[in-house]
Structure 1
Amino acid sequence: METAARERGAMVAASRDRSCCLSDLLAEWVSIGAVQERRISSLSLDSRRVAPGALFFACQGTQRSGHGHIGAAVDQGAAAIVYDPVIPVSPAIQTRLQVQNIPLIPLPDLGARVGIIADRFYLRPSRQVCVLGVTGTNGKTSVSHFLAQALHRQGIPCGLVGTLGKGLVGTLQPSPLTTPDAVTVQEQLAAMAAARIRYTVLEVSSHALEQGRVNGVVFNTAIFTNLSREHLDYHGDMVRYEAAKFRLFNQPELRHAVINIDDVAGRAFLANLPSEVAAISYGITNPQANLWASELHCDRYGIAMTVQSAWGEGQLTCSLLGRFNAYNLLAALGGLLVVGMPFTEALQRLSQVRAVAGRMEAFGEKEGEPLLVVDYAHTPDALEQVLCSLQMHLGPGGRLWCVFGCGGDRDRGKRPLMGAAAERLADFVILTDDNPRDEDPIQIIIDILSGIHNPDRVYQFRSRSEAIIRATQLAGPEDIVLIAGKGHEEYQQIGAEQRPFSDREQVQEALRQRRGGLR
């Protein structure tokens, strides 16, 4: 505990007392003369977080840009402004900065360069920490946490930056994005370097790769989980989505790759890897994989598999649920081998990992209770994988229930596909609200129903809490109930309001009511 506290303290201190010359940060793009030269003490993309002496970046955004917040940044004490000239700065702001003698510097393609500037400001932290990046549609969070848990059990502190937060495993601080902005990424890496943390696992989303949030990061290892339909509202089509993911494997100075070759995109990634990158492939159906699960068994209590590899053959048994978690474990195994953990020890460490909050997380272990599983699955492929996996865990006479909805203001095309997957693979389907945001929740359910052939088999409860309670009451002791879509989230986004709501807490309440005989 004392060691962890010291490490956290060092991480906090690392983000303070740092400064450098503006000219050093912008070297090779902009010539800074004596008149414009400033000492920069911090960096910010958010005007609300600007401190005196900061360099503020006004980038072009997908929905809004930083240009409209330059005045607020100056009010907070910004020492200089760098902006993307694709959007002009208003004459009034230009005049104000000229009067106040604050440099206003245009820099084309600024979004792609912020990470490189931040890397310089924080003294190139990814060269001081071994950074492993995990990308793919599904499994990023689980693979990242399995790696961190396994290293932690060996007594090696491991940093995490991802969906569930940033910091050390077990003491994560909340983060709003899977991959933070470019400045925060470098700030976190610098904090971990200062705390002498040897390894950091970074979840790398397609948005982050497309927007340059990890530019400037030197990755030791890139791990690919899988690719399926997601974020097409942003990328437009699967070709562009796949290309965004592959950017991680073209990062300068990448040394190792761990790739799922049961996945079509994974095989393409492996074939197109730069020649200097050493690869470890993994799979369940492909015996050519460097890490091959030749036998896989699932029951109500977990999974067991035989792993064959160039490092030897071994058994891996753990309490995790789901065939896809076998893939996640193989990905983590590849990562552990890359950083030098012996094969047998890596298997032992991975046998002890626990499910990540809201990722195939099981509840209801008392006799006579159904098994309730909370999972983040919110794409057609993820839902199909989870349901197929849970079928493997059903005992004789067990039935599979699926409780889910779809998020509003997101890819509408996936809704009927998710409905079709649920109808095909579950014995009972309960549709409910997810995060409707600004969409009509009823229309979202109608969209899901358009993929269902027999809507008479489908229950509908708009209230998510009621849907979970009813499923728990109706399910038999041998049944499995999947509550999909929100996972670890502790809110429900309805319109502009974030209402407190947790599937995990609601599942536990539903079990309490069942135990108490409440109906």
Structure 2
Amino acid sequence: MNTTTLTELAGDLAAAGILSSPAPRADVAVTGASCDSRVVSAGELFVCKGAAFRPAFLASAVERGAVAYLCDEAHAAELADVAPGVPALVTSDLRRAMALCSARAFGRPDRDLRTVGITGTKGKTTTAYMLRSIVDAACGARSCGMIGTVETYDGVVDEPSRNTTPEAPDLWRNLAHARDSRLSALVMEVSSQALKYDRTFGVGLDVACFLNIGLDHISPVEHADFEDYFSSKLKIFSQCETAVVNLDSDHADRILKAASRAPRTLTFGIERPEADAWADELVASEEGVSFTLHLDGWERRVELPFPGSFSASNALAAALCAHLLGIGPEDIVRGLAATRVPGRMEFYHSRDRQLTAIVDFAHNRLAFESLLSAVRAAFSGARIIAVFGAVGGKAQERRHELPKAAAPFVDYLVFTTDDPWTEDPRDICREMERALPDGFPHEVIIDREEAAARAFELAEGRRSVVLLLAKGHETRMHMRDGYVPCLSDGELARRGIAAHDRAHSADADTDAPSAR
């Protein structure tokens, strides 16, 4: 177990110019940090943070064994009365202080662990899973840690994720677990919110990969405008040894300029011989996409179980990151072919191959255009029906951008509920309707299960593709009163395909449909 002292933590804050009061006179050993009073362990520093923080949380943390606490100036006097005699660190910048204290409390595990951070408007999760699959192919199953939108696996913790990138105490705990479990590497999705609010501050990345940039997450509770969003993402290059940049991204010149802060920059791109990793000879099919990968003087043919050139781009990013970790070409090719991503580009085929359901987490304009154009190209002549909604309370641009992005590539739209939060989903759907071209065929069905069932009903009679978008693997819906259970889009796809197979049982065997 790593051990530091409160005096050392105070010294770090003082050196950063954010210690607001003298260091406590009583020095104590600190073995970790936590910002959740329900899981704090004996010997840890408790961080008093968040709009929902209550003084009772500190009292509970002390009861569980917290030996000291970190708080901002506004709460210092009040909390001193709540926990008399418990030493405190008071700071003028709670988020940065939380990151600094967590890093030292967990013994700077990033220094003993190969870590890759991936950011971008779309493709973070898929690229992370591709890289994980490559590392596992090279080093053995379950040898690569994962911190991302879908799951967290660090050799100790193995559970669904609550945030794409966790708060600093949780993140540093995950890194420490991965180090202590002797994992071969850890790949993490790095969100714009994590970079803006210093969740990842101080994490030394071996590789920082920037996939792309597009309009997303613009709202009063996320980013005020595109510049805030973009500049937040670019911060990732200030904490890496090697920057990996997509030459095909919008604003690539600005991304490369920011990447120059890193000691080394490598690039990738489609049909980009000047890049360090590049692809050509792309061949699309209903099963995915294949291409020739060129990297470090060698070339190999790659078969991906995902459609579209954007999937090839994600694979290039993963391959280049894997190469930087010292992994060879055969394991890269094998790992890419074996990649499976929960809720991302999952295909479900009927037995007669007349109906395909595709589940994908695409939820912004850039992702919609990439996915839907690839599906239209791969499934030439098929009728394409898309089911999706838009979230409430944030990312308000999506309710206008998503219908506009979908209309050129699909034949019919079914608008439905997608995490409406504080808003009425009917109001969101009405806004989405107004964004469509006049007369575009569509309907609104608020219940997501009914919306999916209607899409599969519309698909009967000819070769069709049903797209269930934006929820992916999720089994909770964010409503006004909190999260409520819902069926995953994968389950809705399985039900739709099963219903089709039952209706056409004369031409099918009795096996259940399968996803790939």
What TM-score do the two structures reach when normalised by structure 1? 0.89
Number of residue-to-residue matches in the alignment: 492
Note if contact 2:138-2:331 (Cα within 8 Å) is conserved in structure 1.
no
Note if contact 1:143-1:331 (Cα within 8 Å) is conserved in structure 2.
yes
1:115 to 87, 99, 102: 99
Mapped to 2, the partners of 1:306 and 1:35 lie a distance apart of 64
Mapped to 2, the partners of 1:427 and 1:349 lie a distance apart of 35
What residue is the counterpart of 2:453 in the other structure? 469
Q: Report the CA distance between 1:322 and its aligned residue.
A: 2.8
SS class of match (1:105):
strand
Mapped to 1, the partners of 2:350 and 2:267 lie a distance apart of 36
Note if contact 1:148-1:169 (Cα within 8 Å) is conserved in structure 2.
no
Note if contact 2:42-2:65 (Cα within 8 Å) is conserved in structure 1.
yes
1:25-36 equivalences under 5 Å are 25-28=9-12, 29=14, 35-36=25-26
Instruction: After superposing the two structures, state which structure 1 stretch, 135-144 or 364-373, moved more.
Output: 364-373
2:215 to 229, 239, 257: 229
Q: Report the CA distance between 1:301 and its aligned residue.
A: 1.3
1:81 matched to 2:69? The reply is yes
What residue is the counterpart of 2:514 in the other structure? none
What residue is the counterpart of 1:195 in the other structure? 181
1:255 matched to 2:255? The reply is no
Q: Report the CA distance between 1:430 and its aligned residue.
A: 1.0
Q: Report the CA distance between 1:463 and its aligned residue.
A: 1.4
Note if contact 1:380-1:418 (Cα within 8 Å) is conserved in structure 2.
yes
2:131 to 136, 142, 147: 147
1:436 matched to 2:420? The reply is yes
What residue is the counterpart of 1:217 in the other structure? 203
1:483 matched to 2:471? The reply is no
Q: Report the CA distance between 1:458 and its aligned residue.
A: 0.7
SS class of match (2:259):
coil
The amino acid across from 2:467 in the alignment is L
What residue is the counterpart of 1:340 in the other structure? 326
Q: 1:81 to 1:224 in 2, by over 3 A?
A: same
Note if contact 2:388-2:417 (Cα within 8 Å) is conserved in structure 1.
yes
Mapped to 2, the partners of 1:402 and 1:219 lie a distance apart of 38
Q: CA-atom RMSD, angstroms?
A: 2.3
The amino acid across from 1:231 in the alignment is H
Q: Structure 1: give runs of 5+ residues left out of the alignment.
A: 1-16
SS class of match (1:272):
helix
Note if contact 2:156-2:181 (Cα within 8 Å) is conserved in structure 1.
no
SS class of match (1:426):
coil
SS class of match (1:55):
strand
Q: Report the CA distance between 1:18 and its aligned residue.
A: 4.6
Provide Cα deviations, 1:25-57, integer angstroms capped at 9, x if missing partner. Answer: 221415876732122243111222233433111
Note if contact 2:3-2:30 (Cα within 8 Å) is conserved in structure 1.
yes
Q: 1:474 to 1:311 in 2, by over 3 A?
A: same
Q: Report the CA distance between 1:203 and its aligned residue.
A: 0.9
Note if contact 2:32-2:102 (Cα within 8 Å) is conserved in structure 1.
no
Provide Cα deviations, 1:136-161, integer angstroms capped at 9, x if missing partner. Answer: 11111111111111111123411111
Provide Cα deviations, 1:178-229, integer angstroms capped at 9, x if missing partner. Answer: 0011011111111111111121101110111111111221100001111111
1:317 to 297, 303, 308: 303
Mapped to 2, the partners of 1:368 and 1:514 lie a distance apart of 11
Provide Cα deviations, 1:351-385, integer angstroms capped at 9, x if missing partner. Answer: x2233011111112422431100011111221121
Mapped to 1, the partners of 2:212 and 2:153 lie a distance apart of 25
Q: 1:66 to 1:324 in 2, by over 3 A?
A: farther
1:243 matched to 2:227? The reply is no
Q: Report the CA distance between 1:96 and its aligned residue.
A: 4.0
Note if contact 2:289-2:303 (Cα within 8 Å) is conserved in structure 1.
yes
1:504-515 equivalences under 5 Å are 504-515=490-501
Instruction: After superposing the two structures, state which structure 1 stretch, 488-497 or 189-198, moved more.
Output: 488-497
Note if contact 1:231-1:411 (Cα within 8 Å) is conserved in structure 2.
yes
What residue is the counterpart of 2:509 in the other structure? none
What TM-score do the two structures reach when normalised by structure 2? 0.89
Provide Cα deviations, 1:44-91, integer angstroms capped at 9, x if missing partner. Answer: 1122223343311123x4x44566743443444432222111x24454
Note if contact 1:113-1:215 (Cα within 8 Å) is conserved in structure 2.
no
Q: Structure 2: give runs of 5+ residues left out of the alignment.
A: 505-516
What residue is the counterpart of 1:5 in the other structure? none
What residue is the counterpart of 1:277 in the other structure? 263
**What is the percentage of aligned positions where both structures have the same residue?**
28
The amino acid across from 1:245 in the alignment is K
Note if contact 1:22-1:32 (Cα within 8 Å) is conserved in structure 2.
no
2:39 to 46, 49, 65: 49
2:274 to 288, 306, 321: 288
What residue is the counterpart of 1:12 in the other structure? none
What residue is the counterpart of 2:6 in the other structure? 22
What residue is the counterpart of 2:441 in the other structure? 457
Q: Report the CA distance between 1:310 and its aligned residue.
A: 4.1
Note if contact 1:242-1:265 (Cα within 8 Å) is conserved in structure 2.
no
SS class of match (2:193):
helix
